[in-house]
Structure 1
Amino acid sequence: MFTFDQLAGFIAVAEELHFGRAAERLNMTQPPLSRQIQKLEKSVGAELLERDNRRVQLTHAGQAFLEEARRLLALAERAPATARRIASGRSGVLRIGFTAASGFSILGPLLEEISAALPDVDIDLQELVTGEQIQALLTGELDLGLARPPFDGEIFDSRLLYREAMVVAVPAGHPLTRLGRDVENEDLRDEPLIMHSPLQARYFYDLVVRTLPVQHGNVVHTVSQILTMVSLVAARRGVAFVPRSATALGIDGVEYLQLGGDRGEPVELHAIWSRKVENPALGRLLRELDFARA
């Protein structure tokens, strides 16, 4: 196998087409340079240079090998710097999971922050429900999740990204839009309800059942995604309880109404990651965004 010194020697001779000038360029004498070229040709198994007392010329094999030699030497010179950048978190890949709802709310602004903090790090995005994100974080398939509680605080560290209220989505022109006030529990008693799935959308299901007036006999559809839920509202299939960020979907035929009472902002989205941070890019991101102090 040839060495990088042999490659450098060959490139110098190929560019100078003169052993003396190439040796001077490399700060060495001509005999050891000649021996390097001979060893290189033996390793390659082909004559790379034609030389006599008057001239040096590349063979056809030498012309082809020159381009590869330049590429290999450039890679070798870049490799240490690349390794240092990855080890420091300035390069590499960051794998981020996100829920569908976060995709039309905080994901865009957060990605802008990440790109500004780590411009040379590639971002791999995966849309997953919270349970799938937690499993992927445990197996190392994800570095960072944008997920809903609960999660094990002994295994995961986290940062609350935002909170928001729940609103009721109704078809445009629905009688509830003409109340002139917030919607109260009694107003929803007989309304057909599009409900969150207790399996695929457990976080929203539990939150709605715990804090809002749900008449289970009124449930006409059960779905897992907020987008599907709002689309069904637009189709006049019923009303639905959705996070306020759903208003950003811009689906025609839907109006969003404030719920009465002091219900606060119960919907939470957290950035979560394993306490055993192994990806240097994640460690750098946590420091850059000041997540490590949360």
Structure 2
Amino acid sequence: MFSLPQLESFVAVAEELHFGAAAARLNMTQPPLSRQIQMLEKQLGTQLFGRSSRRVELTAAGLMLLPRARQILDMCIKTDLDVRRVSSGDAGAITVAYTAIAGQSALPQLLRRAVDIMPGVSFVLRELVSTDQMDGLVKGSVDIGLLRPVVARPGIVSRPIMTDRLVIAIPSGSAILGNLPNMDAPLPLACLDRLPLLMYSTKEARYFHDLVLRLFASAGAHANITQYASQVPALLAFVQAGLGVTLVPASAMASSPPGVDFHEISGSHGIRELNRVDLELAWNEQTANPAVRRLLKLIDSTGLNPGDR
């Protein structure tokens, strides 16, 4: 099998058609160059150059080899560059998983900054509930997760990236709450007592499920759960259909379907303190992806953070 130095020597002679000029181009003397060509011709079993005292010409075999040799050398140069860029985190791919609401708030802000800082890195995006994101982080199918706080897993590291709050969502024009004095007024959770409550799944959305129950208990209200869903858009669609009321992150209001009204939650200082929705950035501390490592370092050094809402 021929070597890269042999191909480099061949291309130089083929382009210069002069052994002396080719040797100067390669910063070497002519005898070693001639030996490289001779070894290449021996390995291929044919002459690549016709030589005379006056000129050097490519044979038919040399003419066939020249474009392929250029392609091989170009590919080697590109491969060397790509490997170095991937190993430094300047290139590669990062799989980012996100919840439905994070996809409308934190994700666009995070990607906008990350793409500016790491233009050579491609981002593969997957919408997953938080528990599935955690599974993906453990298995390695997810590099970065934008998720709600869930049960910790060994080796998974997370940090808060955004805070939000829950608001009450009710069907527009519905008499479900009676005659409200102010359609925009904050409402106590007690006014939802025993109303049909559209609730988060106990498995896929346990964080929201438990938070809603704690808020209802703190307000002394009974949670009359009638339907379950794992994602906020589904719950809002149920509200739009008039099936009941629910609590959703305030960041969901910007993309809510028509037919849904929102109210802030009023109540004691304890309820206001409890009404905190966290979004976390999570990753596997054993990740072998250099691009992930570089992104995390950039987040640390530049303060890359979508911030509070």
TM-score, normalising length: structure 2: 0.82
CA positional deviation for 1:51: 4.2
**CA contact under 8 A between 2:236 and 2:256: conserved in structure 1?**
no
**CA contact under 8 A between 2:96 and 2:143: conserved in structure 1?**
yes
The equivalent residue for 2:212 is: 208
CA positional deviation for 1:268: 0.8
Aligned length: 293
SS in 1 for 2:170: strand
Pair 1:238 & 2:244 matched: yes
**CA contact under 8 A between 1:99 and 1:147: conserved in structure 2?**
yes
SS in 2 for 1:230: helix
The equivalent residue for 1:38 is: 38
Structure 2 CA distance for partners of 1:249 and 1:152, relative to 1, 3 Å: same
Structure 2 CA distance for partners of 1:60 and 1:162, relative to 1, 3 Å: same
CA positional deviation for 1:231: 1.7
For residues 49 and 146 of structure 2, the distance between their equivalents in structure 1, rounded to whole angstroms, comes to 59
The equivalent residue for 1:189 is: 193
Counterpart amino acid of residue 124 in structure 1? V
**CA contact under 8 A between 2:158 and 2:280: conserved in structure 1?**
yes
Structure 2: runs of 5+ lacking an equivalent? none
| Alignment of structure 1 residues 41-52 onto 2, 5 Å | 41-44=41-44, 47-52=47-52
For residues 249 and 53 of structure 1, the distance between their equivalents in structure 2, rounded to whole angstroms, comes to 80
Structure 2 CA distance for partners of 1:46 and 1:187, relative to 1, 3 Å: farther
Structure 2 CA distance for partners of 1:207 and 1:78, relative to 1, 3 Å: same
Counterpart amino acid of residue 56 in structure 1? V
Counterpart amino acid of residue 285 in structure 2? R
For residues 63 and 260 of structure 1, the distance between their equivalents in structure 2, rounded to whole angstroms, comes to 83
Among residues 281, 286, 290, which one is paired with 2:300 in the alignment?
A: 290
The equivalent residue for 1:166 is: 166
SS in 1 for 2:243: coil
For residues 75 and 231 of structure 1, the distance between their equivalents in structure 2, rounded to whole angstroms, comes to 53
Task: Give aligned-pair identity as a percent.
Answer: 40
CA RMSD of aligned residues (A): 2.9
CA positional deviation for 1:277: 4.5
SS in 1 for 2:265: coil
CA positional deviation for 1:218: 4.9
TM-score, normalising length: structure 1: 0.86
Counterpart amino acid of residue 293 in structure 2? G
